[in-house]
Amino acid sequence: MLTELHEKVLLKICMLLHDSGKDVCWGLTGSTSFALQGMDYKPHDIDIQTDEATAYILGELLKEYEVQPVTFSGNEKIRSHFGKFLVDGMEVEVMGDIQKKPADEWENIIPLDTLLDYVDWNGYQVPVLKLSYEAEAYRKLGRLEKAEQLERFARERQIRICRNLTIE
């Protein structure tokens, strides 16, 4: 469940992106995405996955909240165009064109638009990363318990949707 602060900051981000008039590609990922998709989850921050161009657009739109400017950075397992912001006391992280390295080579960048679902929230169609993709990403990073939790929730949600369709 989203806190009042999460809702306030997410609404601000949705409005900024919508009002910018720019062609942007983004999706919520992590705890806020999970909560928005109906998981019983307490988010601690807002993580936004984007393409490279949108990472820098968001960096400009959130400039007044900047803690760490968007730049290309990473470690031995993951890299992206990363920036950190503090919006009304809420940490917001932006990650553009994420690449993972589960073995010896960096994976190709996956087009973000192929990974998105949408949640109808406060008058916005909020893009969220598909839970199946999130589970796979956690599995590649060795976070198996989290991957299994996401897969279980996605299966249970699909069963509920199918039952509702049968009833109607």
CATH classification of the domain holding 21: 3.30.460.40
Supply the pLDDT for residue 39.
Answer: 87
Provide the 10 A C-beta neighbour count for residue 40.
Answer: 8
Output 147 or 117, whichever has higher pLDDT: 117
**Residues in contact with 47: Cβ distance below 8 Å, sequence separation at least 6, in sequence order:** 28, 29, 30, 31, 32, 33, 92, 93, 95
What's the CA gap between 3 and 147, in Å, rounded? Answer: 24
- Residue written as token pair 């008039």: 21
Q: Looking at the structure, tell me whether residues 96 and 145 fall in a common domain.
A: no
Percent of the chain with pLDDT over 90: 65
Q: Looking at the structure, tell me whether residues 70 and 147 fall in a common domain.
A: no
Structure tokens that stand for 98 in this block: 């994420």
Q: Looking at the structure, tell me whether residues 94 and 37 fall in a common domain.
A: yes
- Whether 162 has a pLDDT exceeding 60, the answer reads no
The number of domains in the chain is 2
Q: Looking at the structure, tell me whether residues 88 and 119 fall in a common domain.
A: yes
- Whether 132 has a pLDDT exceeding 90, the answer reads no
SS3 for 150?
helix
DSSP state of 76: S
Percent of the chain with pLDDT over 70: 93
Q: Looking at the structure, tell me whether residues 63 and 28 fall in a common domain.
A: yes
**Residues in contact with 143: Cβ distance below 8 Å, sequence separation at least 6, in sequence order:** none
Q: Looking at the structure, tell me whether residues 27 and 50 fall in a common domain.
A: yes
Residue 64, exposed/middle/buried by CB under 10 A (0-12, 13-18, 19+)? Answer: exposed
Q: Looking at the structure, tell me whether residues 85 and 39 fall in a common domain.
A: yes
Q: pLDDT tens-digit profile of 69-116?
A: 999 999 998 899 999 999 999 999 999 999 988 788 999 999 999 999
Average pLDDT, whole number, for the chain? 89
What is the residue range of 142's domain?
132-168
Q: Looking at the structure, tell me whether residues 87 and 28 fall in a common domain.
A: yes
Ordered strands of the 46-50 beta sheet? 66-74, 78-87, 90-100, 46-50, 26-29, 124-129, 116-121
Q: Looking at the structure, tell me whether residues 166 and 117 fall in a common domain.
A: no
Mean pLDDT, rounded, for 142-157:
80
Q: Looking at the structure, tell me whether residues 165 and 84 fall in a common domain.
A: no
Alpha-carbon radius of gyration of the chain: 16
Supply the pLDDT for residue 48.
Answer: 98
Strands 46-50 and 90-100: parallel
Q: Looking at the structure, tell me whether residues 160 and 99 fall in a common domain.
A: no
Q: Looking at the structure, tell me whether residues 124 and 105 fall in a common domain.
A: yes
